[in-house]
Structure 1
Amino acid sequence: MQMTSDWSDILDHVDELNEFIMTSEIVAAYHKAYQDVYSTPEVARVVHEFSRLKETYEEVQRFGKYHPDYKSINTKIRVKKREMDLIPQVTELKAAENDVQDLLDELSLLLAHAVSHDIKVPVSNPFFQSATGSCSTGCGTGSGCACSA
């Protein structure tokens, strides 16, 4: 593939879009929320404990209910997750992560539909799926998403 002025223009626009995303209020809010979680020793400790427990949980899940610690690990992980979810900084971080994901999903849809409306873009928010009308040709779920398949 030869580098042409068109490709150079496209790369310049990609750099501009990247700069726009990285300097947006949404990403700034995410960075602040992330900093709030990991700069507070007590919150960082709870998150770290949950991460360690999650590794153990994943190991236990390989064997399922036949693992000797199955019930105790399942109970511990749920209790620790609930403890972590009740921390306001963690809740704010999760909300900020969702906002960033929604921004990226929306941009992905805009870019894909600029090329063709037939491009299917996986998104995390069902609102974006239904707003695009991407199921007008059928999505393969047997009309489970209320499409006209």
Structure 2
Amino acid sequence: MYSTMTNVDILQEVYDFSDFITSSEVFLHYIETKRALEKNRDAQRMITHFQALKEKYEEVQRFGKYHPDFDKVTKEVREWKRKVDTNLFVSEFKKAEEELNQLLVEISQIVANAVSTHIKVPTGNPFFDQGGCGTGGCGSGGGCGCSTKKK
């Protein structure tokens, strides 16, 4: 019975904490920029066109440089990627998305460290992942200044 009540208490804390996150300024900004991006017709047209180009690109990649349209499609994908990335609505959304990701990574690290310092939390960047570069995981043999000896 005690175990069940503890689990219920923990779950309630998790729900309360998730409500706290979803009412945070970072999350609300993310939702705001996402909606603005979804409503912007120019940005949506650019994204749709870029997705179609990516499909062409994947087809071309099956044959690599031997495909007759390899250079043309590769160049066009790079150009459109740059156009999409520099669109104000897309760049604002990506910035807000990264801020939310950072918040979630920090929360995950705090929770993991509260349980054990040996729990690794993926941050999406292997250089900054706990246990990454400092354990020789950078692949440079210590050239980056990290210790290649395992701790």
1:12 CA displacement: 0.8
Cα–Cα, structure 1 residues 114 and 139, in superposed 2: closer, same or farther, change >3 Å? farther
Displacement after TM superposition at 1:84 (Å): 1.3
Structure 1 residue runs without a partner (length 5+): none
Is the CA contact 1:106–1:128 (under 8 Å) kept in the aligned structure 2? no
Higher relative contact order (CA 8 A, sep 6+): 1
Q: Is residue 61 of structure 1 aligned with residue 61 of structure 2?
A: yes
Instruction: Count how many residue pairs are aligned between Structure 1 and Structure 2.
Output: 145
- The answer to whether the 8 Å contact 1:102/1:124 transfers is no
Q: 1:137 to 1:57 in 2, by over 3 A?
A: closer
- Measured against aligned partners, the alpha-carbon deviations of 1:43-64 in whole angstroms (never above 9, x if no partner) come to 1111111112112212222322
Could you tell me which residue of structure 1 aligns to residue 111 of structure 2?
A: 111
> Among the aligned pairs, what percent are the same residue?
41
**C-alpha distance in 2 between matches for 1:51 and 1:136:** 35
Runs of 4+ in structure 1 over 6 Å off? none
Offset of residue 137 of structure 1: 7.0
How do 1:56-95 and structure 2 match up within 5 A? Answer: 56-95=56-95
Distance 1:135 1:145, change over 3 A: farther
Q: Report the secondary structure of 1:4's partner residue.
A: helix
**What's 1:21 paired with?**
21
- Deviation for aligned residue 1:72: 0.9
TM-score, normalising length: structure 2: 0.83
Give the match for residue 37 of structure 2. Answer: 37
Cα 1:119–1:146, aligned 2, differ >3 Å: closer, same or farther?
Answer: farther
Distance change in 2, residues 1:136/1:50 (3 Å):
closer
CA distance in 2, matches of 1:74, 1:118: 43
Q: 1:136 to 1:55 in 2, by over 3 A?
A: closer
Cα gap change, 1:33 to 1:82, in 2 (>3 Å): same
Letter in 2 for 1:78: R
Quote the Cα distance in structure 1 between the aligned partners of 2:33 and 2:128.
Answer: 25
User: What amino acid does structure 2 have at the position aligned with 1:138?
Assistant: T
* 1:42–1:109 CA distance, 2 compared to 1 (3 A): same
Unpaired stretches in structure 2, ≥5 consecutive residues: none
**Is the alpha carbon distance of 1:79 and 1:135 closer, same or farther for their aligned partners in structure 2, counting shifts above 3 Å?**
closer
Stretch deviating more after TM superposition (136-145 or 95-104): 136-145
Measure how far apart 1:147 and its partner are: 3.5
Partner of 1:4: 4
